[in-house]
């Protein structure tokens, strides 16, 4: 079970939850991923939305596809997608790889990914589940490359997870890691709120207490017998839900309809920490590099609406070239960029 440390708790709200609700420590799939019908809110281009060449974020998505593909040297190869969520990036990378296997500790996510692959007619992507914290269900040296998007930091022990990923990667194989560091939250964004709908009558209020200096976050999940829409209205400030609206008196008022309280601790390494952990695991040629997603967005802005590629194939052709360049360019560690490493 994750250990908790309440030292940086300033608001009283977290103290109240601790004292009054005694939240149960849990893993991330127990906290949220087992419950969500779509982890991405059905927002993913190609997987859920038709590709739109006029949408900058769809370009970013294609940029990320080629980032993972080129950084892992994965064209025509066998790749692992660690923690695929709704099938990202596995399902968009699959058409360019020989085979993609997604492994996730949430059975729900595996079910969703498998159904998405079936719906999209993708035959070379498959998904398996395993118990969080245990060994990955693969032999040593199985994969030519590994893609990990916002997932290693969701595991109970990211350092141990890196060791497992190293084990299942072939010698000479590459891992590409996209992760959420906490540096962006410094200076007022440490506390946060998120409401997850869980059907018509119940929702989950998620309250974040992030500690960027110590590279971890605590999330409190309160299951509340109230429709998500109603809770959203109660906690909105100018149209958006706001952490400041959550007070001890509000929690006192709804205490009787809080049916469950959970707490999740996640560790969020900075680039500097990732690099030292990758080294100690045995990885070499560790490269913090610019991301293909960011490059694709910049490229989008260089075009006008009249001269921008207008379909998926021509967009991909334009994006591929810049992604090949930027994913090989070292980025400053202070930016917490994506990281590539070789076994």
Q: Which stretch binds ligand SAM (CB under 6 A): 26-34, 168-176, 205-213, 286-294?
A: 26-34
CA atoms within 13 A on the CB side of 184: 9
Q: Which of 48, 41, 68 is nearest to 296 (CA)?
A: 68
What's 138-173 look like in SS3?
CCCCCEEEEEEECCHHHCCCHHHHHHHHHHHEEEEE
Quick one: 251 or 292, whose CB is closer to ligand SAM? 292
The residue from 58, 62, 77, 109 that contacts ligand SAM (CB under 6 A) is 109
Contact letters for ligand SAM, residues 134-153 (x by CB under 6 A): ---------------xxx--
Residue pair 289/337 in contact by the 8 Å Cβ criterion: yes
User: Which residues make Cβ contacts (< 8 Å) with residue 342, sequence separation at least 6?
Assistant: 172, 173, 174, 283, 284, 285, 286
Q: Which stretch binds ligand SAM (CB under 6 A): 81-89, 208-216, 220-228, 264-272?
A: 81-89
Residue 105 interacts with ligand SAM (CB under 6 A)?
Answer: yes
Quick one: 88 or 290, whose CB is closer to ligand SAM? 88
What residues numbered 38-57 form the site for ligand SAM, per CB under 6 A? 39-40
Quick one: 8 or 130, whose CB is closer to ligand SAM? 130
Tokens of residue 337, six digits:
């960029």
Tokens 């038709």 belong to 50
Residue 106 interacts with ligand SAM (CB under 6 A)?
Answer: yes
Residue 179 interacts with ligand SAM (CB under 6 A)?
Answer: no
Write down the least CB distance from residue 40 to ligand SAM, Å: 6
Q: For residue 237, what are the CA distances in angstroms to 205, 206, 221, 241? A: 16, 17, 21, 6
Residues that bind ligand SAM (CB under 6 A): 28-29, 33, 39-40, 82-85, 88, 104-106, 109, 132, 149-151, 154-155
């Amino acid at each position: 079970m994750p250990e908790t440390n309440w030292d940086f708790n300033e608001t009283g709200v977290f103290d109240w939850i601790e004292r009054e609700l005694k939240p149960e420590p849990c893993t991330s799939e127990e906290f949220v991923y087992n419950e969500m019908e779509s982890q991405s809110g059905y927002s993913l281009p190609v997987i859920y939305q038709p590709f739109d060449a006029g949408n900058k974020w769809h370009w970013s998505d294609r940029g990320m596809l080629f980032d993972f593909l080129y950084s892992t040297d994965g064209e025509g190869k066998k790749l692992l997608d660690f923690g695929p969520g709704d099938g990202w990036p596995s399902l968009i990378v699959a058409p360019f790889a020989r085979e993609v296997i997604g492994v996730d500790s949430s059975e729900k996510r595996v079910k969703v990914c498998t159904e998405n692959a079936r719906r999209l007619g993708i035959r070379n992507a498959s998904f398996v589940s395993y118990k969080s914290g245990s060994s990955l269900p693969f032999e040593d040296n199985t994969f030519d490359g590994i893609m990990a998007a916002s997932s290693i930091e969701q595991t109970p022990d990211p350092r141990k997870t890196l060791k497992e990923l190293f084990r299942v990667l072939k010698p000479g194989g590459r891992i590409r890691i996209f992760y959420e560091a906490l540096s962006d939250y410094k200076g007022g964004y440490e506390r946060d709120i998120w409401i997850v709908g869980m059907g018509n009558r119940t929702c989950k209020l998620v309250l974040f207490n992030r500690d960027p200096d110590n590279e971890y976050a605590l999330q409190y999940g309160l299951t509340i017998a109230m429709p998500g829409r109603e809770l959203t209205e109660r906690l909105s400030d100018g149209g958006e839900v706001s952490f400041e609206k959550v007070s001890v008196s509000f929690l006192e008022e709804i205490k009787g309809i809080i049916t469950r309280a959970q707490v999740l601790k996640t560790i969020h390494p900075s680039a500097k920490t990732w690099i030292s952990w990758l080294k100690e695991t045995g990885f070499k040629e560790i490269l913090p590099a610019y991301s293909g997603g960011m490059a694709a967005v910049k490229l989008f802005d260089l075009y006008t609406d009249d001269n921008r590629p207008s379909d998926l194939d021509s967009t991909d052709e334009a994006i591929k070239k810049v992604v090949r360049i930027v994913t090989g360019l070292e980025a400053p560690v202070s930016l917490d960029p994506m990281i590539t490493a070789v076994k």
